[in-house]
Amino acid sequence: MKYFLKRAGFMILTLFAACALTFFLMNVIPGGTAELIIKHTFVGLEESVTEEQINQVSSRYNLDDPLYLQFFMWVKEAVLRGDIGTSYVFKKPVLYLLTLRLPATVQLAGASMGLSVVAGVSLGIYSALRENRISDHVLRVITLFGVSMPGFWVALLLILVFSLKLKLVPVSGYGNLENLFLPAAALSLHSAAAIMRVTRTSMLETLGQEYIRFAKAKGLPVWKIMSRHALKNAMLPVITVIGFQMGSLLGGAVVIEKIFAWPGIGSLLVDSISARDLPMVQGCVLAIVTMFLLVHFLVDMLYTHLDPRIRYG
């Protein structure tokens, strides 16, 4: 329980720091918050704004207060009422818009992480068992390609091959497995390659331990050695990498969602930055950081279950 509370406390502090950083950065963008509100709400982006309008909006939204006071008022509203602002562009609560986009992002991130874990772990184990053979060298080359290629380039390549040339799946869209295939594949390639590299290295190190050689000397089948002795110990560093790769997936989803017109939080963030919709940008960053921290929190809890030394160390 002590370890659980400690990790939960760190998660809350990190979330607070991310919110503060985003808030202050968004409010130092040239142009002024009051001017942005007026242009999005009343006169349009191309029209000029009068000093009287700026003063009225500043007084209405307390924009004349110091930034730190504005931030703590925002925190108060967010904690007590669950109100994190209203979008300048959509004229709707930010939290409501996030709940509309969240399922698509969770679906894409979940599918990508599933592909990454299944492909990375299984190929990493296979590569370790076939060390220095042709199949091992081929997989290592593929892994090098996977960790080196940027996600947007992989996405364009997949569109060119599977959509434009082979015409197997649509270029973009949302709602079925065909639409999910390309963005999930593009997003998962880098993570799968990273997980495979760590799995192979960890498995080779584990297979070289004395207790593994003793199990082989006893005549235990390879599958029993792997499942009962090697796999659990080799998975400890792999689980850590999986947690970090979740952050990579959430960050990469910002670009991938935009390329494939996937209606998630990432594409909403890009559109909001283009429109300079500050409350929406802040809400999107808050949602992404929260998901990232929750995944890391779950990884920490799983890590302590697999390695009790962390709990009692």
Does residue 146 have a pLDDT over 60?
yes
Residue spans of the domains in the chain: they are 1-95, 103-306
Supply the pLDDT for residue 198.
92
| Mean of pLDDT values over 4-8 | 80
Position with higher pLDDT, 228 vs 9: 9
- What is the homologous superfamily of the domain 103-306 according to CATH? MetI-like (1.10.3720.10)
| Mean of pLDDT values over 144-155 | 87
- In order of 27, 65, 83, the CA distances from 73 in angstroms are 14, 10, 11
Per-residue model confidence as pLDDT tens digits over 249-273: 877 788 888 889 889 898 898 888 8
Q: How far apart are CA 289 and CA 187, in angstroms?
A: 18
Backbone angles phi, psi at 236, to 5 degrees: -60, -55
Q: How far apart are CA 270 and CA 247, in angstroms?
A: 17
Position with higher pLDDT, 23 vs 263: 263
Supply the pLDDT for residue 116.
92
Q: How far apart are CA 133 and CA 110, in angstroms?
A: 33
Supply the pLDDT for residue 18.
86
Whether 239 and 120 have beta carbons less than 8 Å apart is answered as no
Does residue 311 have a pLDDT over 60?
no
| Mean of pLDDT values over 3-23 | 84
Supply the pTM of this predicted model.
0.81
Supply the pLDDT for residue 28.
75
β partners of residue 86:
93
Per-residue model confidence as pLDDT tens digits over 160-201: 999 899 888 888 888 788 889 999 999 999 899 999 999 999
HEC profile of the chain: CHHHHHHHHHHHHHHHHHHHHHHHHHHCCCCCHHHHHHHHHHHCCCCCCCHHHHHHHHHHCCCCCCHHHHHHHHHHHHHHHCCCCECCCCCCEHHHHHHHHHHHHHHHHHHHHHHHHHHHHHHHHHHHHCCCCHHHHHHHHHHHHHHHCCHHHHHHHHHHHHHHHCCCCCCCCCCCHHHHHHHHHHHHHHHHHHHHHHHHHHHHHHHCCHHHHHHHHCCCCHHHHHHHHHHHHHHHHHHHHHHHHHHHHHHHHHHHHHHCCCCCHHHHHHHHHHHCCHHHHHHHHHHHHHHHHHHHHHHHHHHHHHCCHHHHC
Per-residue model confidence as pLDDT tens digits over 272-309: 887 777 788 888 888 888 888 888 888 777 777 766 66
Supply the pLDDT for residue 197.
92
